[in-house]
Amino acid sequence: MTQPIFLIGPRGCGKTTVGLELARLCQSDFVDTDHWLQTHAGQSIAEIVEQEGWESFRARETATLEAVAAGAGIIATGGGIILSAYNRQFMREKGIVIYLCAPVPVLVERLEASPEEGQRPTLTGKPISEEVSAVLAERDALYREAAHHVVDASLPPAKVVQNIVTALHLACAS
C-alpha cells in the first residue's frame, strides 16, 4: 500500500475495530491517532483538554495526523479531526479517506456497550444519545466532504472491511 487509508467518522462507528481488521487482512500497519497522541503526550485526551483546552488538543491532533501519515498504512482518526479544513484537505491529498457512516441509534448502542471513560471528554455535556445526535448533525457534512468513499458502518465489522476492500479494489489476503 503506497498511500495511507484514513478512516473517519464519529465515536462508535468502528474506526479502530475496522482499521485493525483491515490492516491484518491487507498485511499493513495500523495506527489510531488518538492512541498515538496519548502515548506520545503521556496524557489522556481528557487530561490534555482539561489542562490545555480544545484548541491545543486540536493542534496536537493535526501534528499527529501529519506524523502518522508519513508511515502510510491504515489510520483510524479521532472523530473531530475533520473539524479542521486543513486536516480534511491533508487527508484527501495524502491518501484515501473512508467515512464509516452509521445512524445515531447504532452509535449510541455501541458507545453504551463499551464506554471509554476518560479517553474523550463529553463535547456537549448532554446525555449520550443527545450528544451523538448533535455532534453527528454538526459533522456529517464535513465527514462527507473529506471522504473519497462512504461505507455503511452499521454492518458487522467483517462486512464493513469487506466492503472497503471491494470499494478500493485492494489486493488483500482473505
Calculate the CA 136 to chain-centre distance: 13
Secondary structure letter of residue 4 according to DSSP: -
Q: Is 16 annotated as a binding residue?
A: yes
Q: Is 12 annotated as a binding residue?
A: yes
Q: Is 14 annotated as a binding residue?
A: yes
Q: Is 78 annotated as a binding residue?
A: no
Q: Is 15 annotated as a binding residue?
A: yes
Q: What separation in angstroms does the CA of 21 have from each of 3, 9, 93, 96? A: 18, 17, 24, 17
With beta carbons less than 8 A apart as the criterion, state whether 139 and 145 touch: no
Q: Is 13 annotated as a binding residue?
A: yes
How many residues does the structure list for the chain? 174
Q: Is 17 annotated as a binding residue?
A: yes
Q: Is 58 annotated as a binding residue?
A: yes
Q: How far apart are CA 172 and CA 102, in angstroms?
A: 25
Q: Is 139 annotated as a binding residue?
A: yes
Q: Is 24 annotated as a binding residue?
A: no
Binding residues: 12-17, 34, 58, 79, 120, 139
Binding residues for substrate: 34, 58, 79, 139
Binding residues for Mg(2+): 16
Binding residues for ATP: 12-17, 120
